[in-house]
């Protein structure tokens, strides 16, 4: 079946450290891939996305590259800030009209950044 697997958290980093959150997927066909972020007490916001192989999504210093050969979409940031503390979700959606509006999520990874 279709699924998303993320590295388990929580991840605790010091400010300005390098961040990697691993995400791998299993899907029929070639999905679109997303990273969503959830700040404490809030809903999910789209952080970045990629719709085809080798695409790189980027936003707010975060980036992720769609790797078809390794079925991965790892999230990276060169220098994290305290304000990046949140829960990060990797997700996929399958193409086709019957799949529109449906996202398959990973478990979520909690990031805590300490000053």
Partner 1 sequence: NAGVTQTPKFQVLKTGQSMTLQCAQDMNHEYMSWYRQDPGMGLRLIHYSVGAGITDQGEVPNGYNVSRSTTEDFPLRLLSAAPSQTSVYFCASTSGRLDADTQYFGPGTRLTVL
Interface residue with partner 1 among 79, 81, 107, 114 (CB under 8 A) is 107
Smallest gap, in angstroms, from Cβ of residue 39 to partner 1? 11
The stretch near partner 1 (CB under 8 A) out of 10-18, 21-29, 32-40, 76-84 is: 32-40
User: Is 98 in a helix, a strand, or coil?
Assistant: helix
Q: Please say whether the beta carbons of 89 and 106 come within 8 A.
A: yes
86-93 and 62-65 beta bridge pairing: unpaired
Q: Rounded distance, CA 10 to CA 110, Å?
A: 5
Q: Rounded distance, CA 87 to CA 101, Å?
A: 22
- Tokens representing 69 are 């050969």
Q: Does 26 bind partner 1 (CB under 8 A)?
A: no
Nearer to partner 1, 40 or 115 (CB): 40
Q: Does 96 bind partner 1 (CB under 8 A)?
A: no
Q: Does 44 bind partner 1 (CB under 8 A)?
A: yes
- Tokens representing 84 are 């990046």
Residues at the site binding partner 1, with contacts judged by CB under 8 A: 4, 32, 34, 36, 42-46, 49, 51, 89, 91, 93, 97, 100-108
């Amino acid at each position: 079946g279709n699924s998303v697997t993320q590295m388990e958290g929580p991840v605790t980093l010091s400010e300005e450290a390098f961040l990697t959150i691993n995400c791998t997927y299993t899907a029929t066909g070639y999905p679109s891939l997303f990273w969503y972020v959830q700040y404490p007490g809030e809903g999910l916001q789209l952080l970045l996305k990629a719709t085809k192989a080798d695409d790189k999504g980027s936003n707010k210093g975060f980036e992720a590259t769609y790797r078809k050969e390794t079925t991965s979409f790892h999230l990276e940031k060169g220098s994290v800030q305290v304000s990046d503390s949140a829960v990060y979700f990797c997700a996929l959606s399958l193409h086709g009209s019957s799949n529109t509006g449906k996202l398959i999520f990973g478990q979520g990874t909690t990031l805590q950044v300490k000053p």
